[in-house]
Amino acid sequence: EPEVTQTPSHQVTQMGQEVILRCVPISNHLYFYWYRQILGQKVEFLVSFYNNEISEKSEIFDDQFSVERPDGSNFTLKIRSTKLEDSAMYFCASRGIGSQPQHFGDGTRLSIL
Amino acid sequence: EDQVTQSPEALRLQEGESSSLNCSYTVSGLRGLFWYRQDPGKGPEFLFTLYSAGEEKEKERLKATLTKKESFLHITAPKPEDSATYLCAVQASGNTGKLIFGQGTTLQVKP
């Protein structure tokens, strides 16, 4: 069964450094998402991406964040200058057309030191 | 403001002891309500989508129902392998597919 894959599974980074989280969505999906889950809290929406542009973003998704689909298969989330409060589990999701559900990867655990 | 609240936060059952999980929501036009299962260290795994009040979906020991204000996930004769966190999420109409999640119910089924 096709699945969303995310790399790395765990990323440890010094505060202020840039980090790129990578995702390979399911191949025929058209809509892509990033969510995050701080330990013990709800899964929170960050951004949605369709047709090579951001279609919606949350208040969390400020100028430090960016997304890209560089080559038609990968979908990346970049955090330019990481802060301690960026420590969380980051999930990528994708879905097909219409009302199909979103399918999630197993996440990248980001630890900021 | 769109909001999802799940109860209880945690539930312990004996194997075979049936129960229900609740998801209450307020949303500006419901496009879909989704149930996911999340195992420790894993991403949410899709279970069901419900679109309109009165709809029901079943899969093995799980049955999801929907009213205009809440959804229930009924677990019949659970087994230890049903132990997981169950997440409810809503998608409001007119947006881009953004999901709003509840905080989840962590279910533990003891043999």
Contact at CB, B36 and A104, closer than 8 angstroms: yes
Instruction: Flag whether pLDDT at B94 surpasses 80.
Output: no
Query: Considering only alpha carbons, which residue of chain B is nearest residue A46?
Result: B98
Q: Please tell me the distance from the alpha carbon of residue B4 to that of residue B25, in angstroms, as a whole number.
A: 4
Contact at CB, B97 and A31, closer than 8 angstroms: yes
Distance of CA B56 to the CA centre of its chain: 12
Give the SS3 label for residue A67.
Answer: strand
Q: Name the token pair of A15.
A: 């505060």
Interface A-B, measured as beta-carbon pairs within 8 A, has a size of 59
**pLDDT one-digit tens code per residue, A11-47:** 999 999 999 999 999 998 999 999 999 998 999 999 9
From first CA to last CA, the distance across chain A in angstroms is: 37
Instruction: Flag whether pLDDT at A2 surpasses 80.
Output: no
Residues near B35 by beta carbon (within 8 Å), at least 6 away in sequence: B23, B47, B48, B50, B62, B64, B71, B73, B86, B87, B88, B89
Query: Considering only alpha carbons, which residue of chain B is nearest residue A92?
Result: B43
Bridge pairing between strands A31-37 and A43-50: antiparallel
Q: How many CB atoms lie within 10 A of CB A62?
A: 9
pLDDT band at B48 (very low <50, low <70, confident <90, very high): very high
Q: Name the token pair of B22.
A: 């609740």
Q: Please tell me the distance from the alpha carbon of residue A111 to that of residue B37, in angstroms, as a whole number.
A: 24
B70 within 8 A of B24, measured Cβ to Cβ = yes
pLDDT confidence of residue B1: 83
User: In chain B, what residues touch A42 (CB-CB under 8 Å)?
Assistant: 101-104
pLDDT confidence of residue A95: 95
Q: How far is CA B22 from CA A37, A76, A82, B4, B100, in A?
A: 21, 35, 37, 10, 16
